[in-house]
Chains A and B, each alone.
Chain A
Amino acid sequence: MTPLSHIRNFSIVAHIDHGKSTLADRLIQETNTVSARDMKEQLLDAMDIERERGITIKANTVRIDYTADNGEHYVLNLIDTPGHVDFAYEVSRSMRAVEGSLLVVDSTQGVEAQTLANVYQAIDADHELVPVFNKIDLPASDIDRVAEQVEDVIGIDASGAIPVSAKTGQGIHEVLEAIVHHLPAPKGDRDAPLKAMLVDSWYDAYLGVIVLVRIIDGVLKKGDQIKMMQTGARYGVDRIGVFRPAMQPVDELGPGEIGFLTASIKQVRDTKVGDTITHEKKGADKPLPGFKPSVPVVFCGLFPVDSAEFEDLRDAIEKLALNDASFSFEMETSAALGFGFRCGFLGLLHLEVIRDRIEREYDIELITTAPSVVYHIYMKDGTMRELHNPADMPDLTHVDHLEEPRIKATILVPDEYLGDVLKLCQDRRGIQLDLTYAGSRAMVVYDLPLNEVVFDFYDRLKSVTKGYASFDYQMTGYRQDNLVKMQILVNDEPVDALSIMVHRDRAETRGRAMCEKLKDLIPRHMFKIPIQAAIGGKVIARETLSALRKDVTAKCYGGDATRKRKLLDKQKAGKKKMRQFGKVDIPQEAFISALKMDD
């Protein structure tokens, strides 16, 4: 067991590509944590998997032994978490598990959006920050400019910033010394009842669920009987250990230490990020503050392109769910798309990553339907129902009113883009709550309906601000509004998978945009196709896709029969990627693309 004074726990905050992985590699190499023979960018590899696991937001951890220039032996624990607004809560838990951060800024690029988003997470968690200016080996490096930016934009002292080149190794030693001398040691009481924060967990085929913990107070030993304070579940600890970065068993974990435990836990679902682990007997009486159960906020339907792959899809979803407690699923049937699943996610990125993994790792082509938030429907009989799918909207005669989830969105943006951001928020039915300046950056706070944000808000924000805006949100509650279900009719037939919930005032605009989009997305057919948006029986927007005029091969003689036949077979395969509605073939990408708003 290491004394508290000789432990340093930290994370690395950086914009993408500013050199976080390379720096982590260098720290490991410099301290001989991994033998030179095994090095081979080992941690980097782990981080590739990490990126794969980004969806379940698994923290990547390594314990580094370091003998400082003063001759003392220190234990440095690095927790690395990718930051994305979908996983804001999970990231905030990881940040709470450490006391300081290295703020890595590319000295050729300067402070960027993600630097800010993440640095505020760190400041929020009361971290000490050590600025590290990377890539000083490059000619375009400008340390003075970056230091000025850090002081102006982030508002922290950059005088102690360490210039490094993670590539050449220059400055790495100084970084290690700064970790030891500038970051605070953790606090904790070895004799107090056990309090350990459940930072993260993931499923391992051999060991079951592996739980990453940060010990706050007390001591955790192998064989201990433990209790999860939020869920009340009890387990016997099978193993404890640390990551170097491979798993290495230890006898005990004391205050300030970060490590893992396994306890024959079968599903990741049984472990809640942010939960407090204590001993079953003589346990802590109060859990750590800040626990929130994770609740899916975005729902969409996932259907196999080839309906014969439904069972494969079920299998894939069940396997992914083993390692990701934050997404939910239940079977769904659609008149148009057949059998599939209605799945709930933490956000759009989460949705996209799960979808991509199903397609890539399980080789199942998917049709993804319009993402939807959870509405509250208040019925005339006084009951309330949750609506996860616009297709399930009950008969309006029984509905009293609808409520939709709202969020408080915080956006940081260089002031030259402020106008565009305000317009975007306004267009999405936002109500401005606050607008302040920090240097040349504006911070705007908006109250927004989640359904306006859930789909392409983040993409639009990035695009109107050239990637310089950072965005964060939290759910604030439900509010009544004038919401209606809008249907899309293609060739006079309703396409259930394209139904959306929309604010009445926005319905015409959305309806027109969707009809125009579909007109471009659906290939021309041999006949003209009306595309309509309707609320109830009333058509509010209409486009007509004109008929195909010419599609004929001029010459076809004896030598062409084989080629033409093979072409037909190819077309048949291509047709599988379409969904037929009446006589109209709709390409699968239309189900998502039709909803994108170009504002």
Chain B
Amino acid sequence: MRSANLSPVVLTDDWKNAGFGLYIHWPFCQAKCPYCDFNSHVVAHIDQKAWARAYVAELDRVAAELPGRTLNTIFFGGGTPSLMHPDTVAAVLDHVRKLWPMANDPEITLEANPGSVEAGKFRGFRDAGVNRISMGIQALNDRDLKRLGRIHSVAEAMAAFDIARDCFDRVSFDLIYARQDQTVSAWEDELKQALTLAIDHLSLYQLTIEDGTAFGDRYQVGKLRGLPDDDAAADMYALTQDICADAGFLNYEVSNHARPGSESRHNLIYWRYGDYAGIGPGAHGRVTIDGQRYATECLRAPGAWLSAVETGRAEHIRDAISHEEQAQEYLLMGLRIREGIDRARYEALAGHPLDQATLDHLTDIGMIRANRKKIIVSDQGFMVLNSVIAALANA
């Protein structure tokens, strides 16, 4: 440890408040969904062995800088990681175990497309060590699935879901709402149906039109019609929270609902602002090395990434982030979760407390609850969270 007597321990070790996770990005999909702005690519052929070797090389590079960590969680995201061969997943996980000691009951999640081909691999993923599956079901009617550019049907999704439930104790799925021409009551019916299927975790995202996507292009030229306005979307959001709560699924984050104890522990590392190593094309990381926290990012293009790995240069961005920036990131990630942020931790990072007048005002108008230790955003505050964060960060 370098100059531990100069850097306050709380800063060098801030990540310990939330633990350490590993994110692995698989950049391929069978088809690109029109709403998705993630780093995903459609290719004819994937050399699974080459990719496995590359991930292993990257793991070695990262582990060399982060020795002695205990790994709490692993997350295969994408893209469509269920397109990985189970052997590829196994190769990665076997190697991870050699590099870091795992926490008791580590959470290892893999994102899956709910198609029949993928379902056939679920057992293989489980045998490789995956213990949680997150399925992109997105909608429970075929017309909307088609409009969202999904290649599976509801029947296929249900079949895949049943297989997943057989293989994994923990199964989550995603739905997208506030879709084109979706009424509040149609969403209510669909959500209630989803809750009868759900085991322990649901991610419910309002459709967001992102620049640079097919939906974004259509929206720009006025060809994406029937989207609910902000008031209708707000009503849908409020309704969603109520229905989930009634079914025992708490909104532990803005768009995530779980039975108590079944929250995504990997994602909580992000929101609690822990350390996470990110490998694979376009993967981001936050890693603390010798008391300094860095934001890292790997090359986005799969081909470029693959060849850069050989020379150890897949990570093309490594920015030291200042204490003030870390405090901002803690604020904007931490206020997304129901448990809120820890004021002492914020103050230690920022070097100053949050503005009291702003806190009082936000409390007065019902956006937050604040006590001596914590700041917690209310249900009402979640709906306008960007404004709440901006008010606190820019006060």
Contacts and interface: CB of A to CB of B under 8 A. Distances in A.
B325 A557 contact: no
Interface in A506-563: 525-527, 548-559, 561-562
28 contacts: A526-B362, A526-B365, A526-B367, A526-B384, A526-B391, A549-B230, A549-B234, A549-B384, A550-B231, A550-B233, A551-B384, A552-B383, A552-B384, A552-B386, A554-B254, A554-B255, A555-B208, A556-B254, A556-B270, A556-B336, A557-B267, A558-B270, A558-B276, A558-B284, A559-B278, A559-B284, A565-B329, A572-B394
Interface in B352-383: 361-362, 365, 367, 382-383
B208 A571 contact: no
Nearest to A563: B284
A562 B333 CA distance: 11
B258 interface: no
Contact of A561 (B329, B385, B394): B329
Contacts of A562: 284, 295, 297
A98 to B, nearest CB: 56
Contact of B332 (A557, A559, A565): A565
B384 A548 contact: yes
A336 interface: no
B70 interface: no
Contacts of B367: 526
A575 interface: yes
A558 B23 contact: yes
Interface string A566-588: 00100110010000000100000
A145 interface: no
Given A565-B329, A572-B394, A550 B365 contact: no
Contacts of B282: 559
Given A549-B383, A550-B383, A562-B284, A568 B332 contact: yes
- Interface size classification for chain A: 20 to 34
Contacts of A572: 393-394
A564 interface: yes
Contact of B387 (A551, A557, A559): A551
B284 A561 contact: yes
Contacts of A568: 328, 332, 389-390, 393-394
A572 B331 CA distance: 15
A556 B328 CA distance: 14
Contacts of B241: none
Contacts, number: 96
Most-contacted residue by chain B among A564, A565, A572 (CB, 10 A) = A565
A562 B283 CA distance: 12
Contacts of A583: 361
A558 B394 contact: no
B285 interface: yes
A559 to B, nearest CB: 4
Nearest to B208: A554
Contact of B208 (A551, A553, A564): A553
Contacts of A551: 383-387
A548 B333 contact: no
A553 B284 contact: no
B265 interface: no
B333 to A, nearest CB: 6
B332 A564 contact: yes
A579 to B, nearest CB: 14
B237 interface: yes
Given A550-B234, A561-B295, A568-B394, A556 B208 contact: no
A441 to B, nearest CB: 43
Contacts of A565: 325, 328-329, 332
Given A561-B295, A562-B295, 14 more contacts: A526-B387, A548-B384, A550-B233, A550-B237, A551-B383, A552-B386, A553-B386, A554-B205, A554-B206, A556-B254, A557-B267, A558-B276, A558-B278, A564-B329
A283 B383 CA distance: 81
Contacts of B393: 568, 572
A551 B381 CA distance: 10
Contacts of B206: 554
The secondary structure that dominates the A interface is loop
A564 B386 CA distance: 10
A267 B200 CA distance: 81
Contacts of A527: 365
A555 B37 CA distance: 11
A551 B362 CA distance: 15
Interface string B265-284: 00101100000101000111
Contacts of B254: 552-554, 556
A564 B391 CA distance: 14
B139 interface: no
Contact of B382 (A552, A555, A556): A552
A523 to B, nearest CB: 10
B365 A561 contact: no
B270 A557 contact: yes
A191 to B, nearest CB: 76
A561 B23 CA distance: 14
Nearest to B365: A527
Interface in B165-219: 205-208
B390 A558 contact: no
A40 to B, nearest CB: 44
Interface in B84-120: none
B231 A549 contact: yes
Contact of B286 (A525, A526, A548, A558): A558
Nearest to A557: B270
Contacts of B385: 551-553
Most-contacted residue by chain A among B254, B387, B393 (CB, 10 A) = B387
B330 to A, nearest CB: 9
A561 B333 contact: yes
Contacts of B349: none
B83 interface: no
Contacts of B234: 549-550
Most-contacted residue by chain B among A527, A549, A558, A562 (CB, 10 A) = A558
Contacts of B285: 558
B388 interface: yes
B388 A526 contact: yes
A572 B393 CA distance: 9
A353 to B, nearest CB: 34
A237 B81 CA distance: 88
Contacts of A571: 390, 394
A122 B21 CA distance: 83
B125 to A, nearest CB: 21
A576 to B, nearest CB: 10
A527 to B, nearest CB: 4
Contacts of B386: 551-553
A554 B269 CA distance: 18
A555 B204 CA distance: 10
Interface in B274-312: 276, 278, 282-286, 295, 297
A356 to B, nearest CB: 29
Contacts of B23: 558
Interface string B217-261: 000000000000011011001000000000000000011000000
Nearest to B283: A559
A525 B390 CA distance: 12
B274 to A, nearest CB: 10
A554 B278 CA distance: 22
Most-contacted residue by chain A among B23, B208, B285, B394 (CB, 10 A) = B394
Contacts of A558: 23, 269-270, 276, 278, 284-286
A499 to B, nearest CB: 26
Interface string A333-375: 0000000000000000000000000000000000000000000
A562 B207 CA distance: 22
Contacts of B362: 526
Contacts of B328: 565, 568
